Amino acid sequence: MTEEVTTVFEAKELSMGCRKYEARLEDYLNGAPDAKLESHLASCARCRAALEDARLAGTWLREAWEPFGEPRGAFAAGVAARIRAAEAEAASPTAFWRPIELLASRIALTAATVLLALSAYLYKYAPLKSDAPPATSSDAAATYFPQPPAQPTGIEELAATLNARSNGR
Ligand SMILES: [Zn+2]
């Protein structure tokens, strides 16, 4: 009620006076005796509210922090267990083969990649190569090295092929 009737000037004075106490609220909450602050709190609802807010914030912080205690412990235990498992695995007789297995799988992967690239290359360039020789090779060469029949891919190429055959040498 009194806060609502205070003038702007009074409110400013009040806040200026409260500011120096606000800095001491934390120490007071932590148990530092502060008689002046206590007497101010008795007369200042604003600082009492601030003190209560600070106390609540502290409680919430602790509540928010403490649930982490269990999962953190569980997480640390999980990490420790994983480290122990890795150590046990490293000490086991089959551990020697692990890098080789890894290398083998890497080589297999590389081989597969090369094969894929090669098949893509062949798919892309092989038809062009089979098309090219009949135009340049002689008939004799063609008989000694039989070529698969060229496969014209367009009407112009078909016409060129027919034209070359009818002109014959
Ligand atoms: Zn105050």
Which residues have a Cβ under 8 Å from the Cβ of 131 and sit 6 or more positions away? 150, 151, 157
Predicted confidence (pLDDT) per residue in 113-149, tens digit: 888 888 887 777 765 555 555 555 555 555 555 566 5
State pTM to two decimals. 0.32
Ligand 1 center–CA 57 separation, angstroms: 19
Ligand 1 center–CA 42 separation, angstroms: 9
As a dihedral over the C-alpha atoms of residue 139, residue 141, residue 144, residue 145, rounded to 10 degrees, the angle is -110
Ligand 1 center–CA 2 separation, angstroms: 13
CA distance 131 to 127: 6
Query: What is the pLDDT at residue 122?
Result: 77
Q: Tokens 């007789």 belong to which residue?
A: 93
